[in-house]
Amino acid sequence: MGQQNQLRYRFILGFTLVTCPILIFSQIVCSEGLFGFQSFSILAFLILIGLVASRSGHLNLAVAIDLLSLSTFPYIALIIKETWSLEYSILIWIPMTMLIGGNLLNQRAVALFIGAHDVVFLFVVLVHPGASIFMSAFLESIIPLFAISFLVFVGSLARQSHTNQLEKLNNELDAKNRELNIYTSLLTHDIGSDLHTCLLSTEAISQSLVFDPASARKHIITALTTGQRMGTLLQVFSEAKVVPKSDVASLIERIAEQAQITHGNLEINIAADEQCRSYCIVSRLIPMVFVNLFRNCAMHAGKTPTVEVTISMNGSEAIITVNDDGPGVDPSIRDNLFEKGVTGTKSVGTGMGLYLIKQILETHHGTISLLDEDECEGCGFHITLPCTPFAQMT
């Protein structure tokens, strides 16, 4: 339920809890009702129906029930009793209905609702046999109502503006909290994985430094590259105002090169349209998407996996496919692959990598989906990512 609907529901709940006991008490005190029939009981029953409708998720229906029942109440009473009661017609029912409408309707609907009330009331004053059309009575009836109408409309505009501003602030806060959760999860997941790689490389260096210098050199390069990648991740958490930017193809090529050094068993082939070089990604988090994807390929796609990456543009949106030649995805987890903590029966991972990838992409208005088994040889992903032309960055 959105912010606006939550406020509407709370107002209906509060209005019902306050109004229905008053109406029921009034009906008990005035057994025949204000206008000679069980008016208060009927009105209380209609308001309760509106509350039930709002609790069921039918907020528009609830609003219609409440406003229609309150709006028509004084006019139905006039038709039945055929006498004019200034205090009940103007000072209670119509202004109360306008105030309620100002809290439940949007700006345009409020204006139409109040305008319709004014027109109907003016018509009734002029034609109803129980209403006086002498100038003093006319002014006494119409001018206060029009003044109240104007005040209610101005108040509804101020309330709507305040609500919109509050909703905007809440959305910004939610986005910040979501980004903070991603940062925390990245720090735990990615640095933990890279630290494990560094420790393994250091152990291999200590064992082969004397007897196999070439192998030791290779492990040293792996450890250095992994350390650089950890440093890049730590920059994500820095307070630096300059956000790194790169074209789509160059970004993925750079990450692929690091991944092949870090994971010596991995081969990555990239085919990119030249148009990709003209579009920019400005983000600290997007590189982590491909770092995690390539790490997953190295871990789960066999001993010597080959990864094919294609990059093309659809307008200003990058279309990226990442496809390895491994055994594919465990059928038991295909439907919930991107959920937090989901791993295959033979997986040694934490189930965080693909979850984080999806969260990062959605934060940047991108998408990721698993390719069907007949669309790829092993495990394949289809990614869309909005980009910005370099021409707009200058």
| Residue listed under structure tokens 């979850």 | 355
Domain boundary among 173, 207, 226: 173
Q: Is 226 contained in some domain? A: no
Looking at the fold, whether 166 and 275 belong to one and the same domain comes out as: no
Is 187 a residue whose pLDDT tops 70? no
Q: Note the pTM of the prediction, 2 decimals.
A: 0.49
Going 161 to 166 to 172 to 174, the CA torsion angle's sign is negative
User: What is the Rg, in whole angstroms, of the alpha carbon atoms belonging to the chain?
Assistant: 34
Q: Is 101 contained in some domain? A: yes
Q: Is 57 contained in some domain? A: yes
Looking at residue 356, which CATH number applies to its domain? Answer: 3.30.565.10
pLDDT score recorded for residue 320: 93
Domain boundary among 173, 199, 226: 173
Are 266 and 307 in contact by the 8 Å Cβ rule? The answer is: yes
Look at the chain and report how many structural domains it folds into: 2
Domain hosting residue 258, numbered range: 243-394
Looking at the fold, whether 169 and 249 belong to one and the same domain comes out as: no
pLDDT band at 367 (very low <50, low <70, confident <90, very high): very high
Are 221 and 228 in contact by the 8 Å Cβ rule? The answer is: no
Q: Is 187 contained in some domain? A: no
Give which of 258, 260, 261 is closest to 288, Cα–Cα. 258
DSSP annotation of 390 reads G
Looking at the fold, whether 144 and 250 belong to one and the same domain comes out as: no
Neighbours of 255 (CB within 10 A): 23
**Continuous segment of H or E residues that includes residue 377:** none
Q: pLDDT digit string (tens) for 112-121?
A: 888 887 788 7
Domain boundary among 144, 173, 202: 173
C-alpha dist (Å) from residue 245 to 14, 144, 160, 320, 385:
51, 62, 39, 18, 14
pLDDT score recorded for residue 255: 87
